[in-house]
Structure 1
Amino acid sequence: MVAVFNKDVLSWYLITIKLREAVDANLQKPPPQPPQQQRGLPLPLTNGAAPPPLQRQPEQDRAPRSRAQSPAHSPKPQDSEWVIAIRGKLAQARAEEAACPWARLSVYRVPRCLRDGDERAYTPQVVSIGLLHHGRRHLREMDRHKWRALHHVLKRTGHDVTACLGAVRALEDRVRACYEGRAAGMGSNDLAECLVLDGTFLLELFRGALDGGKGFVDDLGYSRHDPIFAIRGAMHAVRNDMILLENQVPLFVLDLLLGIQLGHPEQTGAVANLAVRFFDPLMPTDAPLLRKDRSKLESYVGASAAAAFDPLSDPMLHCLDVFRRSLLRAGLQPMPPPPARLWLKKWSGLRRVADKRRQQFVHCVSELREAGIRCRRRNTDRFWDIKFDNGVLQIPRILIHDGTNSLFLNLIAFEQCHMDIATPGGNNITSYAIFMDNLINSAENVKYLHDRGIIEHWLGSDAEAADLFNRLCDEVVFDINDSYLSGLSDQVNRYYEYKWSTWVASLKHNYFSNPWAIVSVVAAVFLLLLTTMQTFYSAYSYYRPLH
């Protein structure tokens, strides 16, 4: 043993020994395994042999990976919190795009650009139907009457409520795909309860309104003094709410509930017939239904559920769609534009813009009268069936009441939102509204059409009726070349530009507007002839004096 008397040397000696022991300890440890081997995965083989069987990964080692953590969207070390937040929003948008079947939408939220300034026209005032306005505070009063309707149905048919709830729950995914917006936040039980309540309520109204409302008492068992299920003042407000775009139940749900009540769950088409009869008072015309159509509807009760007349032969979406098709029954045959405008039609199809300058069909009534074009009432029950022949614009009569504004606004909003009908022939209500907007620019125009028996309104003044038509199509996207009235407007405009007709019209307007003007014109012409004859004989006697 070596004796060390120097303190510093002894310290360095001890440090060296400790370092030597640490190095020896590290050399005795086993080499680290690759990551695959640490997790129980096979090592890559280089000799072409088959890999050994995979070992099951322990549950605690497997962390679930969501869409937001996919390699393409997982946060990178160098990303800031702002970039990470943006990636999260993109992942949410991707999930929403994949989960929303746009092609199956039918109950829409009215776009803000359309509803600004007229919120009441799109919002139910008495009853909520469907999911978009379910649970609104001011509409809850009607819920107790919905429960009464369900009680009457179950008592009358002997069915259990679980049969209806189970049948509707089986359609949950299909129903959710029809609604835009709020349906995603409603639970399955609440959704089924809402649809059964609202659907039963609608069916009771449809069936009871037949035969002038006698069905409520005679067939359905309600009291004659019932505050809702009787033809009273409340029925008018309920009917107006049932035609709103946001206040709808898919028609296949109503068909299913009616089929359960009648014992034929597979039937379709019956509800459409009942709905047309129920909404008959809202028709803006004197003769809402043709006699043959009415007879088919009235013969439905107790008959086969498949009896549906032509306009309702295709699958329909909801009550508003049914009402729109009943308005346009027998179809609209658009008049083709002249060859000179075919290139314009193709060009305009590429750019559909909400531009008032591109929504001008014809001139207003005052200008048309100056060009010799007269307006005359056309005797038909189809208010949209406008004709033009030899300077006469034949327009069917239309009735305007306090619900007409909301009715047309919701029909136009439906045509704007539902792309399946936004095709040639699919914007017919919008076409008619814009055509009437072009004709009417003032209260005088309304008065002229009223005197001709074309417009009958129950509003406060002619100015209110003019304002109604002028505000219907604000912010509406429309192309006149896709309208069924495009050919007719070309005929009217060509006649308007013909100068001879303008001169004749000016003559009639200025000199033949009333009997006294006609007498004065005749007298003036007679005096002119006498003056001409006197001048002639005076000149004749001067050059050829009598001898």
Structure 2
Amino acid sequence: MAAVFNKELFSWYLITLKLRETLESAVPTSSAGAPMLEFPEQPQKKQEKQQQTPSDSLQIVIEGDGENHEDEETRSPDFDWVGSIKKKIEQAGQEEKARSWSKLSIYRVPHYLREVDNKAYVPQVISLGPYHHGEEHLRKMDKHKWRCLHHVMQRPNQDIKLYLDTAREMEAKARSCYEGPINLSSNEFVEMMVLDGCFMLELFRGVDEGFEELGYPRNDPVFAIRGSINFIVRDMIMLENQLPLFVLDRFLRLQLNNSYQKGLLAQLALEFFYPLTPTPMTEREGTYIAASFDPLSVLEDLHCLDVFRKSLLRPGPKPRSVHGGLHCLHVFRKSLLRLWPKRRSVQGDHQSIPCVTELREAGIKFRKRKTDRFWDVKFKKGILRVPRLLIHDGTKSLFLNLIALEQCHTDCGNEITSFVVFMDCLINSPEDVAYLHYRGIIEHCLGSDADVADLFNQLCQQVVFNINNSYLSRLFKHVNRSYNNKWNNWRASLTHNYFSNPWAIISLFAAVVLLLLTFIQAFFAVYAYCRRSS
């Protein structure tokens, strides 16, 4: 009975299988190759699959492998990694299109320059601009900013809404002047520009017109000549503590209305920053720095630090490129020489010159040059003429920020950096500073000559600079050529050993007279002997 039941069951299974094959041939399949209509599997289906032909089983395996391969490719970690890289590339392209690098002028000081002295780049009293906005140690000055804005709004024809609307119009352009994203909302950025801009203009006008004329009491803690303005001046000259010049110019137009004159802002800024000039007042040709500087030549998209730098360099020397006018063979030769290893020495390296002590031993003399441009150094006939330079507590921060501007802004030259490198080469020890002070070239109010030597030895650390692209390139070559001249060294040695003081001169004169008398005595002795022989 069991055998008959199994036989009937097997017959029904064959009929079902035949019917299924007929329907699969008539029904269309999906894109993956699987039938769209399926029957529920019978309990014996597993055994039937094992009895299929090798070709059918192979076809089924291949189709299944194709589906699994697509799923694995889209879900693999490498696919996600490539996709993330593509997104980063697209994001970088969008940021480059949205950002205008030509307007960038206010930079964050690179970390390698901060290693010299981080405090020289960080404001200690007041923040201007977005970089140090809201820092804890600078919030004490905020109440004075609001007090300043209150004074400005009390004057006739002044409306805070007019300032806010004007700042709103300049927001996009002002943001493009700063490096990197600014983590301030639109309202916060506009408020910052109005508050900081009016504060700076109030200081400029107070120094020019007088703070009492603007409505401030004589004993005001900030808006007075005897207040904390000296510390504020040093913070306002820092590279990271700047506002775009066109923002200040628009606010000044609102304050002065019809009495505004083009270039007035630059004149007010230069008068405000005048105490920081490295040239002593006695060497100035006039009491006002703007007398020999044209503020109309200042570009509107820069800031007060750039205006101050241009005033120091009037009329500035142009950097001289070593590749200008050279043919390709000469350039190729120089590239080969750079690859050839050589020993760094003063004789073969024009990137440096000897210090004051070594130059004096080689016969080079130092003289003070009478000019109000501290960078205007001359060398002629073995005499190095250097203008007088005043060193004070703010000199280090000033020079470091000027160098940082020249290192970051591609449209700047390297005149300030060139001069600082020149002074760094001259000064290696306190004795070098003492001799330059003796010659009237350096005046300082620091603790000692060693402090001045340390200052110049630290200014040029981590600075990328090539003296061959500097206005002092030719001077360096002439100084090294004179230093390497043997005749100059012999003459200097003679002067140093026998003409250094009056007693040495008297001894040399006595020796020359004694030698001359000995020669005369020998001559007459020989003459008398020859006469007796004849």
> TM tier, shorter chain?
0.7 to 0.9
Partner of residue 164, structure 1:
163
Partner of residue 44, structure 1:
none
Task: Report the 3-state secondary structure (helix = DSSP H, G, I; strand = E; otherwise coil) of the residue aligned with 2:196.
Answer: helix
Report whether the alignment pairs 1:276 with 2:270: yes
Unpaired runs of 5+ in structure 1? Answer: 34-74, 298-307
| Aligned equivalent of 2:231, options 231, 234, 237 | 237
531-540 vs 147-156, which moves further = 531-540
**Pairs within 5 Å for 1:138-287:** 138-183=137-182, 185-210=183-208, 215-218=210-213, 220-263=214-257, 268-287=262-281
Q: Do the aligned partners of 2:293 and 2:314 also contact (CA within 8 Å) in 1?
A: no
TM-score by length of 1: 0.78
> Structure 1 residue 176: deviation in Å?
1.2
**Pairs within 5 Å for 1:269-418:** 269-287=263-281, 294=288, 309-310=293-294, 312-316=296-300, 317-332=302-317, 360-418=351-409
| Aligned equivalent of 2:454, options 467, 491, 498 | 467
Instruction: Evaluate the alpha carbon distance shift between residue 523 and residue 417 of structure 1 in structure 2; reply closer, same or farther with a 3 A threshold.
Output: same
Instruction: Evaluate the alpha carbon distance shift between residue 435 and residue 13 of structure 1 in structure 2; reply closer, same or farther with a 3 A threshold.
Output: same
In structure 2, distance between residues paired with 1:342 and 1:491: 24
Partner of residue 37, structure 2:
none
In structure 2, distance between residues paired with 1:109 and 1:25: 73
> Structure 1 residue 26: deviation in Å?
12
Unpaired runs of 5+ in structure 2? Answer: 32-72
**Pairs within 5 Å for 1:433-444:** 433-444=420-431
In structure 2, distance between residues paired with 1:160 and 1:483: 49
Instruction: Evaluate the alpha carbon distance shift between residue 439 and residue 348 of structure 1 in structure 2; reply closer, same or farther with a 3 A threshold.
Output: farther
Q: Do the aligned partners of 1:348 and 1:481 also contact (CA within 8 Å) in 2?
A: no
> Structure 1 residue 540: deviation in Å?
3.4
Q: Which has the larger radius of gyration?
A: 2
Partner of residue 435, structure 2:
448
In structure 2, distance between residues paired with 1:340 and 1:490: 19
Q: Do the aligned partners of 1:311 and 1:330 also contact (CA within 8 Å) in 2?
A: no
Residue-by-residue CA offset, 1:26-80 (whole Å, 9 max, x unaligned): 9799x999xxxxxxxxxxxxxxxxxxxxxxxxxxxxxxxxxxxxxxxxx955534
Instruction: Evaluate the alpha carbon distance shift between residue 356 and residue 99 of structure 1 in structure 2; reply closer, same or farther with a 3 A threshold.
Output: farther
Instruction: Evaluate the alpha carbon distance shift between residue 15 and residue 126 of structure 1 in structure 2; reply closer, same or farther with a 3 A threshold.
Output: farther
In structure 1, distance between residues paired with 2:421 and 2:263: 32
Instruction: Evaluate the alpha carbon distance shift between residue 225 and residue 359 of structure 1 in structure 2; reply closer, same or farther with a 3 A threshold.
Output: farther
Residue-by-residue CA offset, 1:326-347 (whole Å, 9 max, x unaligned): 1111232668989999999967
Structure 2 letter corresponding to 1:452: R
* Identity across the alignment (%): 52
Partner of residue 514, structure 1:
501
Partner of residue 67, structure 2:
none
Instruction: Evaluate the alpha carbon distance shift between residue 287 and residue 344 of structure 1 in structure 2; reply closer, same or farther with a 3 A threshold.
Output: farther
Instruction: State the number of aligned residues.
Output: 481
Residue-by-residue CA offset, 1:175-207 (whole Å, 9 max, x unaligned): 111101242x22111110111111111000001
Instruction: Evaluate the alpha carbon distance shift between residue 243 and residue 177 of structure 1 in structure 2; reply closer, same or farther with a 3 A threshold.
Output: same
Task: Report the 3-state secondary structure (helix = DSSP H, G, I; strand = E; otherwise coil) of the residue aligned with 2:411.
Answer: helix
Q: Do the aligned partners of 1:257 and 1:265 also contact (CA within 8 Å) in 2?
A: no
> Structure 1 residue 296: deviation in Å?
6.0
Instruction: Evaluate the alpha carbon distance shift between residue 350 and residue 368 of structure 1 in structure 2; reply closer, same or farther with a 3 A threshold.
Output: same
Structure 2 letter corresponding to 1:412: I
Residue-by-residue CA offset, 1:179-236 (whole Å, 9 max, x unaligned): 01242x221111101111111110000010116xxx1112x11111110000125111
In structure 1, distance between residues paired with 2:406 and 2:289: 30
Task: Report the 3-state secondary structure (helix = DSSP H, G, I; strand = E; otherwise coil) of the residue aligned with 1:376.
Answer: strand
> Structure 1 residue 441: deviation in Å?
1.5
Q: Do the aligned partners of 1:168 and 1:192 also contact (CA within 8 Å) in 2?
A: yes
Task: Report the 3-state secondary structure (helix = DSSP H, G, I; strand = E; otherwise coil) of the residue aligned with 2:503.
Answer: helix
Q: Do the aligned partners of 1:312 and 1:325 also contact (CA within 8 Å) in 2?
A: no
In structure 2, distance between residues paired with 1:285 and 1:384: 10
Q: Do the aligned partners of 1:336 and 1:487 also contact (CA within 8 Å) in 2?
A: no
Report whether the alignment pairs 1:487 with 2:474: yes
Q: Do the aligned partners of 2:433 and 2:453 also contact (CA within 8 Å) in 1?
A: yes
Structure 2 letter corresponding to 1:165: L
Q: Do the aligned partners of 1:129 and 1:249 also contact (CA within 8 Å) in 2?
A: yes
Q: Do the aligned partners of 1:415 and 1:427 also contact (CA within 8 Å) in 2?
A: yes
Partner of residue 128, structure 1:
127
Instruction: Evaluate the alpha carbon distance shift between residue 350 and residue 285 of structure 1 in structure 2; reply closer, same or farther with a 3 A threshold.
Output: farther
Structure 2 letter corresponding to 1:527: L
Q: Do the aligned partners of 1:165 and 1:196 also contact (CA within 8 Å) in 2?
A: yes
In structure 2, distance between residues paired with 1:318 and 1:347: 40
TM-score by length of 2: 0.80
Structure 2 letter corresponding to 1:323: F
In structure 2, distance between residues paired with 1:342 and 1:398: 40
Structure 2 letter corresponding to 1:203: L
Instruction: Evaluate the alpha carbon distance shift between residue 474 and residue 264 of structure 1 in structure 2; reply closer, same or farther with a 3 A threshold.
Output: farther
Q: Do the aligned partners of 2:249 and 2:265 also contact (CA within 8 Å) in 1?
A: yes
Q: Do the aligned partners of 1:312 and 1:326 also contact (CA within 8 Å) in 2?
A: no
Structure 2 letter corresponding to 1:280: Y
